[in-house]
Amino acid sequence: MASVHLLLPLMVSCSVAASARAPRHLPPCQVVQMDVFCSDRRLRSSPPDLPLAVQMLDLSHNQLQNLTQETLAFRTSFHHLNLHGNQIRFIQPGLFRNMRDLQVLDLSRNHLNVFALADVHVGPLTAVRSLDLSGNGLYTGMSDHFLSDSPSLETLSLGSNSITKIARDTFSGAASLARIDLHNNVILDIEDGAFDSLDCLTELNLSRNSIACITDFNLSNLKVLDLSQNSVEMFRSAGSAQPFQLARLDLSENKMSDFPLLPRNNVLEYLDVSRNQLQTVNVTGSRERTVALRHLRHLDGSYNRLRSLPEDFLHCVGALEALNLSSNCLQSFSVGDRRLLQRLKTIDLSYNSLESLAFGEDTLPSLEELFLQGNDLSVLDHQIFQGRPSIRHLNLRHNHLDVCVSVHQQEDCVSFRSVPTLRILDLSENRLRTLPADAFADSPLEALDLSLNPGLDMDAHSLSGLGRSLVRLLLRENNISRVSADLSSLRSLKHVDLSTNRLTSLPAWSRESSIESLDLRNNNLVTLALEPSLRTLYVGSNPLSCCSNLGVLDMVQHAAVVVPDLETVTCVHGEASEPLSIERVTRAMCHGGTVQNYVIAAVLAALLVVTALVLLLRRRRSGKRKRLKRSPADRRLVVTSHNSLDVEPVAHWVLNM
């Protein structure tokens, strides 16, 4: 009894403190027809004034702990109930029995593991089609308390829990399941037949678990399977010849050393085996059967240990449209048979060790994108790209290629002339020394990257023929002091990157220049002459003169041009010992020097006028002496004129300055 008396003052004091604390002002729930939105309002239950026939109730991110009829204001008309992100630990058994229209129930991010410990079942979820139980700390066996009587359930999320095993009877009470999400658990074991009773199952997400192998895959109705980020060392399907509906299989980020053995009769379109330990792409298994991947359109085998791609494999993937083998150990790649890969649009062979690349005549007619950056290519067939009638994007960055000087040169170079479909070309970091005239004639490039080729000597006419097409030109980090190529004819040019060079002046632009973005960072520019079409300018790390760029300052201050690196742009002022931020420069700072120049100029002009006057005076004196020898009348006239001019004092002052 004494303890009760001690507890009572404590409860009172806590309630007083709580009432003294100013509550956060929260807006009332938003009601849109029969939908009520009460998210993030610190509610412990739903508001009592809910519409009688409310269909959607959003109580997410509140403080609900017990889910009862009273909590839901005794409403049963819900179609959609969102209880995500609360603190629910208890659900009244049979609560959803009379909710015959409830189709979507979101209970994610609560504490339902506490409820499951009581070994009480939620009761029938008669009409629920979508149930989200993710992020509830559930472990093996706990999901049974929610799924035991869910005859209409089609979509189930159990992601981000602590489930370690999928038992044979886990989904026995939800036979209509079509989509199951079990990602981000710690699943180690899946009992045989765990999914066999689910005839409608089409999508299964088992990513981010600890599954080690799949030895007898037999889910013939499954269309999407995600096993990424597990520890799978082996994937083998059942040996049955029955048709499988699997269209997308993600096995990325596992530990497979062999290519997965897929169903013989398959319709697989997307296969991701990237970030494994594959050394071969053989499609034969222990039963000596070859798997035809005739429907496969996308294959990602990047980040493996592949050293070759045998031609017999290419015969199995006739419908392939995208092939990614980047970041492997390939030393060569060739396609010699014109019947192979006729639909292939994208090949990514970047970051391998390619020294050889060969395409036979009339091969790869649909190829649009070819990524070869980060290899060791130095010698190619000089017209290897002219034979690809659809090629539009070519990335050759970080190789050792030279551009052919003329159409007659056929050795140790690659020609980029007469590729009428080519739009994007990256030749950066190729150790290019020269770029000949007409290097891209009859190839309507829109984007050209020639960066990271130190000392690149561009012919004045190297970009001839690109006047109407070229939009983006990159020449950064070439260590050049001037741009020798003629850019005045590039009337479509909008984006130019000349950063990190040694430029002391800008190239000449045409009167019709359309440049909108210009990057001049890290150069030796003192004075800028900008085009009126310019909208964006990067100009940091240049020894700019403050008073020689007042026009640029006006453009910046009037928002005619945006300088994203404005805070780092400085300039040199004659009277300042340290560079000034261009934001602090004003015209008044430069007027002092200008006025001084005007004064000096005015003094010099006055001296010139006075000197001319002295010379004129001396001439008049000499003429006077001659006239004094004439008649007295003439002498009087001269003297009178002399007195009226009264220039003697002025002359005396000038001569004695």
Which pLDDT belongs to residue 18? 38
Interval 346-363 mean pLDDT:
96
Contact by Cβ (8 Å): 372, 357? yes
> Mapping DSSP to helix (H, G, I), strand (E, B) and coil, where does residue 637 land?
helix
Closest CA to 484 of 461, 517, 450: 461
pLDDT tens digit sequence for 260-286: 999 989 999 999 999 999 999 887 654
Ordered DSSP codes for 562-609: B-TTGGG-EEE-TT-SSPEEGGG--HHHHHHHHHHHHHHHHHHHHHHH
Which pLDDT belongs to residue 585? 85
Residue 649 to residue 642: CA distance in whole angstroms: 12
CATH of domain 29-210: 3.80.10.10
What's the helix, strand, coil split of the chain in %, to 5?
A: 15, 15, 65
The helix (H) or strand (E) run that includes residue 106 is strand 104-106
> Mapping DSSP to helix (H, G, I), strand (E, B) and coil, where does residue 14 land?
helix
Q: Which residues contact 64 (CB under 8 A, 6 or more apart)?
A: 43, 44, 45, 71, 83, 86, 87, 88
Which pLDDT belongs to residue 488? 87
* Pair of tokens at residue 515: 């440049």
What is the CA 141 to chain-centroid distance, rounded? 42
Which pLDDT belongs to residue 655? 37
pLDDT tens digit sequence for 626-641: 444 444 444 433 333 3
Between residues 597 and 270, which one has the greater pLDDT?
Answer: 270
618 pLDDT band (50/70/90 cuts)?
Answer: confident
- 141's torsion region: left (phi>0), alpha (psi -120 to 50) or beta? left
Asked whether the predicted pLDDT for residue 348 surpasses 90, the reply is yes
DSSP state of 484: -
User: How many of the other CB atoms lie within 10 Å of CB of 314?
Assistant: 20
16 pLDDT band (50/70/90 cuts)?
Answer: very low
Between residues 602 and 460, which one has the greater pLDDT?
Answer: 460
Of the listed ranges 53-67, 183-197, 406-420, the least confidently predicted one is 406-420
Percent of the chain with pLDDT over 90: 70
Asked whether the predicted pLDDT for residue 553 surpasses 60, the reply is yes
Which pLDDT belongs to residue 607? 72
Which pLDDT belongs to residue 94? 93
How large is the greatest C-alpha to C-alpha distance in the chain, in angstroms? 151
Residue 284 to residue 613: CA distance in whole angstroms: 109
pLDDT tens digit sequence for 49-92: 899 899 999 999 999 999 999 999 999 999 999 999 999 999 99
pLDDT tens digit sequence for 153-166: 999 999 999 999 99
594 pLDDT band (50/70/90 cuts)?
Answer: very low
Interval 590-619 mean pLDDT:
63
Mean pLDDT of the chain: 87
Asked whether the predicted pLDDT for residue 599 surpasses 90, the reply is no
Domain boundaries, the chain: 29-210, 627-657
Alpha helices by DSSP H, listed for 178-310, are none
